[in-house]
Amino acid sequence: MNQALVQDIKFLPGAGPKKAATLNKELEIFTFQDLLYYYPYKYIDRTKIFTVREATGNMAYIQLKGKIQRMEEIGEGAKKRMVAYFTDGTGVMELVWFKGIAYAKKSLDINKEYIVFGKPAVFGGKINIAHPDVEEPDVARVSVTGKLQALYHTTEKMKRGYLNSKAMLKLQQNLWPMVKGKIHETLPQWITEKLKLMPLEMALFNIHFPTNGDLLKKAQFRLKFEELFYIQLKILSMKTDRNRRFKGNRFEKIGFNFNTFYEQNLPFELTGAQKRVLREIRKDMGSGRQMNRLLQGDVGSGKTMVALMAGLMALDNGFQVCIMAPTEILANQHYVSVVEFLDGMPVQVGLLTGSTRKKARTELHEKLQNGQMQILIGTHALIEDSVQYQNLGLVVIDEQHRFGVAQRARLWNKNTVPPHVLVMTATPIPRTLAMTIYGDLEVSVIDELPPGRKPIQTLHYFHNKHREVFGFMKKQIELGRQVYVVYPLIQESEKLSYKDLEQGYEQICSYFPKPKYKVSMVHGKMKAADKDAEMQLFVEGKTNIMVATTVIEVGVNVPNASVMVIESSEKFGLSQLHQLRGRVGRGANQSYCILMSDYKLSKEGRKRLDTMVRTNDGFEIAEADLKLRGPGDMEGTQQSGMAFDLKIANLSKDGQLLQYARDIAEKILDDDPVLDKEGNRLLKEQLKVLQKAQFNWSSIS
Ligand code: ADP
Ligand code: MG
């Protein structure tokens, strides 16, 4: 424990109990160390002075040097503001205050030289700066330590408590003399030397007070490397540890079940990618080590078949299999298709979900224990403690990104030798993210769709084209196809969402009247049984149109559906749009995805829709998604189940560095699996510290 750094932030000069409380609450900054590791989000060059004439509305922060000619208060009540007319000889700019008017007025002098610092904006055709920093030139020189000034993210509440970015910088400046010389290096010397990394203390200094761009870059590199490196070291050491502790059941045979299925039941030729992945799985399961493999494959790439055939290998070696889906609808669907695929074969397949009746459940439990039941398909119900298997050999987890290491570990306990685990996901994950979230898994990719699929055509229309879209739906229905119409579920306003959905449903019902047309509706508020019943009608082709919220997002397979209409598509994230689109194009017919949107689109919203129209490639979309959302984005981290935020590294930009960090971590563990060597002692200690401090590893998938 580093005593200098664990001191309470309230003891920092300039912080005090009030500001300390705000820092605790708003940024979870409790100690000196927390503040020290609160990095700036960007830097502004304070060497450059612009002229009033040069200033435009799209500039970031700028500095001007000049004098205030006069000041006046304008407006009444809430509209009251003070305007100072500022000039440097090249033009006049308005500096505006809406708050703190009295104070600003008192502290500013006419015709005195000032450095003005702020973000120009256009208002009423003129350029102004609202709430600028105004300082006398020599004061400005002192308050800016380096030439590059750090900017810190702050919250509204912080600003109200006089903790804006500049105040944060001031606190960092107060902190530095108290920690200087007391910061312990966190990477072993051999690494910092070998990789020519800046020492930690120097990096921390330069991250807050960079003297020049070059030192800043080196500081960033050092801190990013360290951040990524320790995550990789942790993930890979978990993996190493697991491989050392657990043996796996060795599946040596390819036998009756697999062969019979392959020769008699397989309804199509496997794609090259499916064959390759099956070989990878077979090799893993035959290795004597426990398989932990992630199977990535775009929607419709045929992952279910791979899972089933891997399952048959387990059966041939005398083991049971369970396949777990995230929803009942999906579990049902898997069950139906597996039973169909295995038609005529002597394999016992069971279904277990939340709505399985007690009697059936008891019977299932028995059959699982005595080994009669060979393949069990279901929802999370499968991992309940009451479910005991005779000899579970393979667990398949489908479409699941929030299934953590801890939950997986629970599955391992289902057998003395932990079962092999295959995690399948249809949300392609950018490589960098996969290395972080699924970094302890081997990865297989199905990068080929079954033959004969026509690429889905994606079109973007504004709301005024509803009639045309309905007309198009009609034509497709006349051809015997089915149509999905999906509405967004807006988190903040469930009520509004259902109103949208219901209005949409009514509109569709009136345009597609009974009895000629039949319309289904599914949404999250319905009872599971009702939902399933409606869904089943659509699956069986008894209804033409399925109006739904995103509950149908994952996995549902209706090959006859050829049109996916997404209402208010600008409100969806990219990966969600891609998932939804993947519900069509699953049969031989040409399929369409129609993105409806408002005229008014945010820049990002437009980019998302453009990306969808441009490409069907899930990996390309995933990369675009990561770029658009950025790594610190909450939605992104939640969506991927990532339990930690990166402080400085950026998974969309630092891919190379991540790979580099991973390679080095790998090499270290190859040479010293439990980090016992003298030179690695610091690594081991640091892992322990980090484990406590930052990451909730148990929820990383
Ligand atoms: P996903 O990877 O999205 O889970 P599915 O396993 O649901 O995809 O497969 C989509 C459809 O493609 C299913 O109807 C499945 O039977 C079919 N399919 C899978 N593999 C092949 C193949 N090699 N050739 C033709 N059709 C296939
Ligand atoms: Mg699937």
Does the CB atom of residue 300 touch ligand 1 within 6 A?
Answer: yes
Q: How many other CB atoms are there within 10 angstroms of residue 360's CB atom?
A: 12
Q: CA quadruple 276, 277, 282, 287: dihedral positive or negative?
A: positive
The 3-state DSSP class for residue 562 equals strand
Distance (Å, whole) CA 271 – CA 273: 5
Quick check: pTM over 0.75? no
Report the pLDDT value the prediction gives residue 408, as an integer from 0 to 100: 64
Report the pLDDT value the prediction gives residue 636, as an integer from 0 to 100: 33
Q: How many other CB atoms are there within 10 angstroms of residue 477's CB atom?
A: 19
Atom of ligand 1 nearest to the CA of 557: 7
What is the arithmetic mean of pLDDT over 339-353?
A: 96
Residue 581 pLDDT greater than 90, yes or no: yes
| Ligand 1 binding pocket mutation candidate from 343, 557, 616 (most atoms within 8 A of CB) | 557
User: Which comes out higher in pLDDT, residue 154 or 404?
Assistant: 154
Instruction: DSSP letter for 264, please.
Output: I
Q: What stretches of 209-343 show up as alpha helix (H) in DSSP?
A: 213-245, 256-260, 272-285, 303-316, 328-341
Report the pLDDT value the prediction gives residue 453, as an integer from 0 to 100: 80
Q: How far, rounded to the nearest angstrom, does the alpha carbon of residue 298 sit from its chain's CA centroid?
A: 17
Sequence-distant (6+) residues with CB within 8 A of 373 are 320, 348, 349, 350, 364, 367
Phi, psi (degrees; rounded to nearest 5) at 688: -65, -45
Q: Considering only CA atoms, which residue is closest to atom 19 of ligand 1?
A: 302
The answer to whether residues 629 and 573 touch, using CB atoms and an 8 Å cutoff, is yes
Residue corresponding to tokens 């929803």: 327
Q: Which burial class, exposed, middle or buried, applies to 496 when counting CB atoms under 10 A from its CB (0-12, 13-18, 19+)?
A: exposed
Residue 317 pLDDT greater than 90, yes or no: yes
Atom of ligand 1 nearest to the CA of 399: 4
The reply to whether omega before 267 is within 30° of 0 (cis) is no
Does the CB atom of residue 426 touch ligand 1 within 6 A?
Answer: yes
pLDDT over 90 percentage in the chain: 56
What is the arithmetic mean of pLDDT over 267-276?
A: 96
What is the arithmetic mean of pLDDT over 429-453?
A: 81
Ligand nearest to the backbone CA of 587? 1
Does the CB atom of residue 560 touch ligand 1 within 6 A?
Answer: no
Q: Considering only CA atoms, which residue is closest to atom 24 of ligand 1?
A: 450
Residue 212 pLDDT greater than 80, yes or no: yes
Report the pLDDT value the prediction gives residue 556, as an integer from 0 to 100: 72
User: Which comes out higher in pLDDT, residue 433 or 102?
Assistant: 102
Parallel/antiparallel/unpaired status of strands 81-87 and 120-123? unpaired
Does the CB atom of residue 557 touch ligand 1 within 6 A?
Answer: yes
User: How many angstroms does the Cα of residue 556 sit away from the middle of ligand 2?
Assistant: 7
| Ion ligand 2 — residues with CB < 5 Å | 555
Atom of ligand 1 nearest to the CA of 559: 14
User: How many angstroms does the Cα of residue 285 sit away from the middle of ligand 1?
Assistant: 23
Residue corresponding to tokens 């392609």: 428
Distance (Å, whole) CA 308 – CA 230: 37
Q: Over the chain, what is the mean pLDDT?
A: 87
Q: What is the CA radius of gyration of the chain?
A: 30
Ligand nearest to the backbone CA of 300? 1
Report the pLDDT value the prediction gives residue 631, as an integer from 0 to 100: 46
Atom of ligand 1 nearest to the CA of 305: 6
Does the CB atom of residue 539 touch ligand 1 within 6 A?
Answer: no
The answer to whether residues 95 and 67 touch, using CB atoms and an 8 Å cutoff, is no
User: What tokens does 430 get?
Assistant: 């950018």
User: How many angstroms does the Cα of residue 320 sit away from the middle of ligand 2?
Assistant: 21
Residue 536 pLDDT greater than 50, yes or no: yes
Residue 633 pLDDT greater than 50, yes or no: no
User: How many angstroms does the Cα of residue 335 sit away from the middle of ligand 2?
Assistant: 12
Fold for the domain defined by 256-446: Rossmann fold (3.40.50)
Does the CB atom of residue 297 touch ligand 1 within 6 A?
Answer: yes
Does the CB atom of residue 266 touch ligand 1 within 6 A?
Answer: no
Report the pLDDT value the prediction gives residue 490, as an integer from 0 to 100: 60
**Distances from the Cα of 504 to the Cα of 73, 160, 487, 497, 593, angstroms:** 51, 43, 8, 10, 18
**Distances from the Cα of 656 to the Cα of 229, 296, 621, 661, angstroms:** 12, 21, 20, 9
Q: Considering only CA atoms, which residue is closest to atom 4 of ligand 1?
A: 303
Does the CB atom of residue 579 touch ligand 1 within 6 A?
Answer: no
Task: Calculate helix-pair angle for 213-245, 681-693, nearest 10 degrees.
Answer: 90
Sequence-distant (6+) residues with CB within 8 A of 220 are 207, 648
Phi, psi (degrees; rounded to nearest 5) at 391: -160, 75
User: How many angstroms does the Cα of residue 554 sit away from the middle of ligand 2?
Assistant: 8
The answer to whether residues 308 and 341 touch, using CB atoms and an 8 Å cutoff, is yes
Classify domain 48-145 by CATH architecture.
Beta Barrel (2.40)
Q: How far, rounded to the nearest angstrom, does the alpha carbon of residue 611 sit from its chain's CA centroid?
A: 18
Report the pLDDT value the prediction gives residue 673, as an integer from 0 to 100: 93
Q: Considering only CA atoms, which residue is closest to atom 10 of ligand 1?
A: 300
| Ligand 1 binding pocket mutation candidate from 265, 266, 268 (most atoms within 8 A of CB) | 268
User: How many angstroms does the Cα of residue 324 sit away from the middle of ligand 1?
Assistant: 18
The strand pairing partners of 548, in sequence order, are 486, 522
Provide the pLDDT confidence category of residue 640 given band limits of 50, 70 and 90.
very low
Provide the pLDDT confidence category of residue 19 given band limits of 50, 70 and 90.
very high
Question: What CATH number labels 457-615?
Answer: 3.40.50.300
Residue 502 has, within 13 A of its CA and on its CB side, a CA count of 8
Q: How many other CB atoms are there within 10 angstroms of residue 128's CB atom?
A: 20
Q: Considering only CA atoms, which residue is closest to atom 17 of ligand 1?
A: 302
Q: Considering only CA atoms, which residue is closest to atom 22 of ligand 1?
A: 450
pLDDT over 70 percentage in the chain: 91
Residue 554 pLDDT greater than 90, yes or no: no
Residue corresponding to tokens 């409606």: 534
Provide the pLDDT confidence category of residue 693 given band limits of 50, 70 and 90.
low
**Low-confidence winner among 333-337, 534-538, 692-696 (lowest mean pLDDT):** 692-696
Could you read off the pLDDT of 387-439 as tens digits, one per residue?
899 999 999 998 665 555 566 666 667 777 889 999 998 777 777 777 777 77
| Ligand 1 binding pocket mutation candidate from 304, 330, 560 (most atoms within 8 A of CB) | 304
66-69-70 Cα angle (round to 5): 140
User: What tokens does 285 get?
Assistant: 């399961």
Does the CB atom of residue 299 touch ligand 1 within 6 A?
Answer: yes
Residue 638 pLDDT greater than 50, yes or no: no
Distance (Å, whole) CA 319 – CA 308: 14
* DSSP letter string, 445-499: EE--PPTTPPPPEEEEEEGGGHHHHHHHHHHHHHTT-EEEEE----TT-HHHHHH
**Low-confidence winner among 314-323, 356-365, 411-420 (lowest mean pLDDT):** 411-420
Q: For the chain, give every domain's residue range.
A: 48-145, 185-240+654-701, 256-446, 457-615
Report the pLDDT value the prediction gives residue 1, as an integer from 0 to 100: 62
Residue 178 pLDDT greater than 60, yes or no: yes
Distance (Å, whole) CA 483 – CA 564: 6
Residue 487 pLDDT greater than 60, yes or no: yes
**Distances from the Cα of 498 to the Cα of 549, 640, 644, angstroms:** 9, 26, 33
The strand pairing partners of 445, in sequence order, are 296
The answer to whether residues 642 and 437 touch, using CB atoms and an 8 Å cutoff, is yes
User: How many angstroms does the Cα of residue 594 sit away from the middle of ligand 2?
Assistant: 22
Report the pLDDT value the prediction gives residue 461, as an integer from 0 to 100: 96
Q: Which residue in 437, 439, 413 sits closest to 427, CA to CA?
A: 437
108-109-112 Cα angle (round to 5): 120
**Distances from the Cα of 630 to the Cα of 303, 437, 653, 654, angstroms:** 29, 16, 9, 12
Residue 140 pLDDT greater than 70, yes or no: no
**Low-confidence winner among 201-210, 358-367, 415-424, 684-693 (lowest mean pLDDT):** 684-693
User: How many angstroms does the Cα of residue 296 sit away from the middle of ligand 2?
Assistant: 11
Distance (Å, whole) CA 623 – CA 635: 15
User: How many angstroms does the Cα of residue 405 sit away from the middle of ligand 2?
Assistant: 22
Report the pLDDT value the prediction gives residue 236, as an integer from 0 to 100: 92
Does the CB atom of residue 301 touch ligand 1 within 6 A?
Answer: yes
Residue 567 pLDDT greater than 90, yes or no: yes
Distance (Å, whole) CA 179 – CA 174: 10
**Low-confidence winner among 179-193, 435-449, 476-490 (lowest mean pLDDT):** 435-449
Distance (Å, whole) CA 557 – CA 555: 6
User: How many angstroms does the Cα of residue 391 sit away from the middle of ligand 1?
Assistant: 29
Distance (Å, whole) CA 5 – CA 35: 9
Q: Which residue in 93, 99, 156, 148 sits closest to 121, CA to CA?
A: 93
**Low-confidence winner among 106-115, 228-237, 391-400, 478-487 (lowest mean pLDDT):** 391-400
User: How many angstroms does the Cα of residue 249 sit away from the middle of ligand 1?
Assistant: 28
Domain 48-145 matches domain 256-446 at the CATH topology level: no
Does the CB atom of residue 586 touch ligand 1 within 6 A?
Answer: yes
